[in-house]
Every structure is written in structure tokens, then in C-alpha cells.
Structure 1
Amino acid sequence: MTAHAAANDAGRAPRVFFYVQHLLGIGHLARASRIARALGENGFEVTLVTGGMPVDGFPGPGINHVALPSIAVGDGGFAALVDANGNVVDEAFKADRRDRLLTAYHACQPDVVILEAFPFGRRQVRFELLPLIDAIEKSEPRPLLMTSLRDILQERAKPGRDEETIDLVVRHFDRVLVHGDPAFVRLEDTFPLANQIADRVLYTGLVGAAPADPPAKRYDIVVSAGGGAVGAGLVEAALQASRRLGDIGRWLIITGPNMPQADFERFAAQSAENVELVRFRTDFRSLLTTARLSISQAGYNTVCDILQAGCASVLVPFASGGETEQTARAQRLERLGQAVVVMEEALSAETMASAISRALSAEAEKNVPVLQLDGANRTAEMLRDLLK
């Protein structure tokens, strides 16, 4: 008997065990939280397991949350993992996380397990995810196992990685949930072996949030730097551009909670009277609904919020360390006339000011294609159908 058959027999709400590990930004956590919230609103019992540094406001109220001991990437890049104190994690630390994860899984007794990104990403935590998959395969009843992907994947640099991913999907995963609109981008556009698992791929649409109410205070230009750990260049260029462009309205600059304090204080000292600088706002989506222009990186959740609000946008895709995902997204949006792109290596006061002027001048003539943005609720509908 499968786990979902057992749930139906018992007449209980279907249970979802959802694992997400954010390592640098907060995009993965934000998207998973949106999906978890929608699942709960659609009658699922959700346990969301997180393993990154705590972020205020996430995963949000009403979600059963299991927080594993926190890890993040070290200064040496994604290969090195550190704990909350900045110490490189050792084998004992990994074993403790693995055991906590397995304990949470067995306590949940889920009908569906969703692993965010893995095996297409998050290889750094396979020390705990491979044992979890092994436990799933040994479970009686066995839950459905799915992976949850953003619309655009990071290009693989090492040979054999795509083949390894396909092998894991074919052996263990029932479905691949792609949180994107195939009219914008398809899995095969950024994952060359997608045709080998085409029968398991489901497109949910982009995971936008619920429509937001207008904010109490309106800003013309909203600048956001994601989590903030790598956003200093964007914020500095925006501040310099604000002085060059003169009075084009009120600015709000959101640096992100992870921006170093020294950078935040330096930018605060540079801000003019019409510029407000804050670390974090819980009403970001609301702010965009009345803004003329958004200036941001090109992360998945931020782009969803911009598309939903319909404001003009300047995108500065994060591209350090060989990252390709944001660049691919930004360039596709620019080709659709939905953004002006400034690459990180070309970022300056001049290029930012020029991009802002172009984006605002094109604002009135923008023809926005309709993209599916209700991916969270559609994910719930798809799981419900699969469980039937």
C-alpha cells in the first residue's frame, strides 16, 4: 500500500514533508514557504524542514517548522559549509543533522516528500539527503517523492553531474515539479538531459504570492538587494545614480538582512533626503504595486513579485562564482521587453543611471506577456490529483 492510500483509508489530511536548504540568499526559503503556505490552505498537513540561517518572517505562521542546526556557505564558496558560528562543519555535525532529519521524517509519516532542488542542486547536503531517500524507499507505506525546482537551473561545470542527477531521478523520484511557465522557459533550456525524464516533469507555473494591498506609504523607486550578502555593488550604484538623476521621486533602498553592518552604515551616510534606507521590509510586494520602478537582482522570487506588480524594472543579475541562473532569467525578460539589464561587471553610477532612464521611458509602452503566476496553488492541485 502507498502512503497516500493509507491516508485516504484513515480519512486524515494528506501529509507533506518538505525539505529546503538555503545557503546564500533567501530565495529558496521564500519560494518553499509560499508553497508550504498554499498547501496548508488547500487541506494538506505540512512539515517544512529548513537547514539555513534563520530569517525573520520565514517560513511564516501556521506552518509546522523543523529547523536543523544551521549551515551556510563559507568564504571559500559553495563547497565549504560552515555552522552558525562560522566554523567549518565536521563529520559529527553532519551526522547529527542527518539523524535529526531522519527522526523528523519518521515522526511525520508523510504521504508526500518534497526535496527542494535536490538532486539537480544542493549536492553539498547529500550526506543527509541520500540517507533520507534510503529511508523513504524502505518505508511501508512508501510516500511519493518529488523534487521542487525553480524555472532556470544553474549550468553544470563538472562532467557527469547531469547523468548522476538523471540516475537519481529515475531510480527514486516520482515527479519533478518545475515552478515555471513553459511559455517563458522550459526545463530542457537549462538542463540538457531533460528529455530522459520528460514523463515525470510537471510545470506548476511561477510561484507568485497572493495579490498585495497598496502600502501605507508610496515610493517611486524601490531598490532591493535580496538577502544583502552580495548586494553592496547594486546599492552603491543605485545611490550614486539617485544623485545624478536629480528629483525623480522618492526612493526606498532595502539592503537585505545579511548586508555587513559597515556597508549599511556607509550607505546610510551617503543617502539624500529623498532616499530612505532600510534593512528589510515585510511588505516588499505591496511596495511594488505603487512603484514606478524596481531595481534588483534577478532572483526567482523578486522577479515573480515584479511581474505580478507590473512595474518597470532594472535587473542586475548575480553572476559571481560562475552563477548563470539569474543572468539567463534577466536576459529572457529583457528580450520580452520586461526589463533593462545591467551586468555586474558593467555596474557603475553611469550605467545604472542610464538603465533607470531607459526603463522609466519605456514604462508607458510596456506590453506585458501573460505568465502563469499561481504556481503555489497549482502545486497543491497537482499533489491532490496524484494522491487520488
Structure 2
Amino acid sequence: MRSTALFWVQHLLGSGHLRRIAAIASALSRHGIQCVVASGGMPLSHLDLGAAELVQLPPVRAADAGFSGLVDHHASPVDDQLMAQRRDLLCELVADLAPEVVVTETFPFGRRQLRHEALALLDAADALAKPSLTVCSVRDILEQASKPERYEQMRAIAMGRYDRVMVHGDPRLVTFGDTFPFADALGERLVHTGYIAAPTVTVTDRDGPGSQEVIVSAGGGAVGLALLEAAAGARPLSAHASNLTWRLLTGDPSLASSFQLSGDGIVAEPNRADFALLLARCAVSVSQGGYNTITDIFNARARAVVVPYGGEGETEQTERATRLARQGSIIMLPEAELSPRSLGRAIDQAMALPHLSPGVIDLDGAERSAELLLQWMDDD
């Protein structure tokens, strides 16, 4: 009988958490392991799972960017009945699959709002005739905790309930201990895997869409809108890029029409499926500093301006962008300083950067994570 791995993941705003787990599950399934991904977030229309299977829990998402609460797919606050239904489905899944390994994404280093669900999953895995190996999958940088005691709670759960912790980052850039004060206490449980990136795109036609363009990509909402508006006004203010085409990818399709009259040389459109190709061909990328966005930039070896999201107490993007700027890989423009003039100046600075060299950061995290899981399953 094939070995089975069960992954639990909850994306609340963006889709990055689910896409990282999908990449690991896809890589592990290529080694002959049956992989099941239990997703508790809103369904995605395009998700590459390879041979892995997706089980959709009743979906919930964050009510707002401040994570003030959880809502269901009708935007109604979640109730105890829905959360109990999710827990029951997870426990039934564990009983049916008897997985050799259970992987929780982010928890216990985040997703505190879902701790009862995650702990119920771990309890079910421990109750099997042969208890599952338990592994946490967590990104490179933690958000700063609102209360210092939260870190101790994370440490206690990690040491008491988990066999391994996979940190999907490159310690040459940032170590887990840089944002988690008890990392040393985890000892050999903790392993850095490298970053999880989309497959590298081979560019055969350098003259296609995006060629020598300024590519501006932003998520939806007010924050993304501010970046797009600054970009729309920055083109004539740039000393070195005012003669280039600026392509604004709006994230929210309804925003695209807002920029159609912004002037010659500006193209505004919803996000494109060939985004990786646009980055590989571009003169400069302009974006926020989320995990997946940064790995896309390095995969494409693009020169980049990064405007990290810093609202609602968020620290992760600023921490990542600061370190990348310090090593000379990107130009960072703090969100508080964003304006058409400052953005035009930052793009001029980025134009002077060399294209990123391969291997600046380790992007082989998906395959490395799969190899580690295989090794730990063999050792168990």
C-alpha cells in the first residue's frame, strides 16, 4: 500500500499559502506518495497540484486586511457549527487515510484563529494505531507577534506536538531565528529548505509582451490601488523609463478601466496567465514584497522595485525587502514614501542594477521539502 501524506492549509487573504503547499504536495507525489491537500480557504480556479488530490473544507477567509475575524463564502461571520463541521471532516479524513505524515501549513507559528481545528487534526493523527509523523511547513519570515507571550506558546506547541519544522527560506538571506526568538530551542527539528518557487519559465522569444517594459503588479484593494495610481503618474517623471511601455496589472479586473486614460505608453489590464514571461522580458518589475512575488522576481532574474505592504501592523514584507535591498538585489521604496515622483526615481535606480544572477537565493524549496519528507518517513 502506498504511503500517504496529508497536508492542512488555510489561506485567508492571498493564495500564497495554498500555492506553496500545492508545490510541495506535487513534488512529493512525483516520488510515488499519495498526497492529499485539505484546504480551508476559498477555492482557486487554477491550482497546479500535480498528482495530489484536493479536499475542500467548508471555506473561510479573513473578514478584512486586519484579520479582525473569519467569514464564510457568503461573507457572514463563521459560527461554531461551521467550525465543528470542518473539524469533523478533518478527523474523518485522518481516520480514512491513516497518513504516514501530517503537514500543517503555518500553524503553530500563525493561524491562531484556527488553533482548535489544527490541534484536533494533530489529536486525530496521534490517535492512529501508528501515529502520524507531524511536520510544520512555514515561510521564511513570521509576522511580529502582537503579544510577546505568543512566541512562547508557539514554541511550546512546536516542541510538544511536532517532529519537524520546515522553514521555506534561505538562511543566507534570513534565518528563522531572525523573526522567531525560540528557534534555537527547536534544535534538529528545524530545517531551512530554500524558497518555494514556481517552475522556471524558458523564454524563447525576447520580443514578446513585456519586452523592455515596466511591469507593475498589484493585488486588489486600497493598497494595490495606491501603487497603481503612483505608477500611472510616475512614467513622465522617470529619467530613464519615460520612453518605455508601462504595463499595469491590476489584480482586480474592475480596476483596469480606471487607468485606460492615463496617457500614452501605459497599458492597464487584469492579471495575465503569462506573468512569469512578462517578468523575464521586462526592463523593471514594480510590486509589493510578498513571498511568492519575490520568488517570481528571482526566478525571472528581473530588476525590481519593491514597495512592501506595511499596513495593519504587517512586518513580513518590509523585513524581507529590507534584507534584499541591503544585499543590492532590489530597490526598496517604503510604502509611506510612495508617490509618483519617488517611484519614478526608484525605477531609474533599478534600471542601473544588473539582472539578478542565478543562485542569489535558493529557489529549490519544493523539491527539497519533498526529499526531506521522504527521508523522515523512511526513518520513522
TM-score, scaled to structure 2: 0.92
Report the equivalent of 1:169.
158
Answering whether residue 314 of structure 2 is matched by residue 323 of structure 1, we say yes
Answering whether residue 364 of structure 2 is matched by residue 371 of structure 1, we say no
Q: 2:95 aligns with which of 106, 121, 146?
A: 106
Q: Distance in 2 between matches of 1:84 and 1:265?
A: 27
Distance 1:58 1:227, change over 3 A: farther
Kept in 1, the 8 Å contact 2:231–2:340? The answer is yes
Further displaced range: 73-82 or 127-136: 73-82
Measure how far apart 1:106 and its partner are: 2.3
Report the equivalent of 1:283.
274
Note the residue ranges of structure 1 that are not aligned, 5 or more in a row: 1-9
Report the equivalent of 2:375.
385
Answering whether residue 202 of structure 2 is matched by residue 210 of structure 1, we say no
Measure how far apart 1:59 and its partner are: 4.5
Report the equivalent of 1:231.
224
Q: 2:214 aligns with which of 221, 224, 242?
A: 221
Report the equivalent of 2:46.
57
What is the one-letter code of the residue matched to 2:243?
I
Q: Distance in 2 between matches of 1:142 and 1:148?
A: 19
Kept in 2, the 8 Å contact 1:289–1:310? The answer is yes
Q: Distance in 1 between matches of 2:220 and 2:78?
A: 22
Q: Distance in 2 between matches of 1:200 and 1:270?
A: 55
Answering whether residue 107 of structure 2 is matched by residue 118 of structure 1, we say yes
Kept in 2, the 8 Å contact 1:317–1:327? The answer is yes
Measure how far apart 1:362 and its partner are: 2.4
The DSSP-based 3-state class of the residue aligned with 1:78 is coil
Report the equivalent of 2:61.
72
Q: Distance in 2 between matches of 1:226 and 1:141?
A: 44
Q: Distance in 2 between matches of 1:75 and 1:346?
A: 24
The DSSP-based 3-state class of the residue aligned with 2:67 is strand
Question: Counterparts in 2 of 1:136-151, with a 5 A limit?
Answer: 136-151=125-140
Measure how far apart 1:96 and its partner are: 1.4
Kept in 1, the 8 Å contact 2:101–2:135? The answer is yes
Answering whether residue 247 of structure 2 is matched by residue 252 of structure 1, we say yes
Answering whether residue 15 of structure 2 is matched by residue 26 of structure 1, we say yes
Question: Counterparts in 2 of 1:303-382, with a 5 A limit?
Answer: 303-363=294-354, 370-382=360-372
Measure how far apart 1:76 and its partner are: 7.4
Measure how far apart 1:20 and its partner are: 1.1
Note the residue ranges of structure 2 that are not aligned, 5 or more in a row: none
The DSSP-based 3-state class of the residue aligned with 1:95 is helix
What is the one-letter code of the residue matched to 1:254?
L
Measure how far apart 1:285 and its partner are: 2.0
Count matched residues: 372
Distance 1:248 1:100, change over 3 A: farther
- CA offsets per residue over residues 19-39 of structure 1, 9 Å max, x none? 111111122122222222212
Report the equivalent of 1:7.
none
- Identity level (%): 40
Q: 2:258 aligns with which of 266, 269, 284?
A: 266
Q: Distance in 2 between matches of 1:39 and 1:270?
A: 48
Superposed CA RMSD: 2.0
Q: Distance in 2 between matches of 1:218 and 1:348?
A: 24
Further displaced range: 127-136 or 97-106: 97-106
Answering whether residue 287 of structure 2 is matched by residue 292 of structure 1, we say no
Kept in 2, the 8 Å contact 1:136–1:143? The answer is yes
Measure how far apart 1:42 and its partner are: 2.6
What is the one-letter code of the residue matched to 1:94?
M
Q: Distance in 1 between matches of 2:202 and 2:359?
A: 23
The DSSP-based 3-state class of the residue aligned with 2:47 is coil
Report the equivalent of 1:302.
293
The DSSP-based 3-state class of the residue aligned with 1:321 is coil
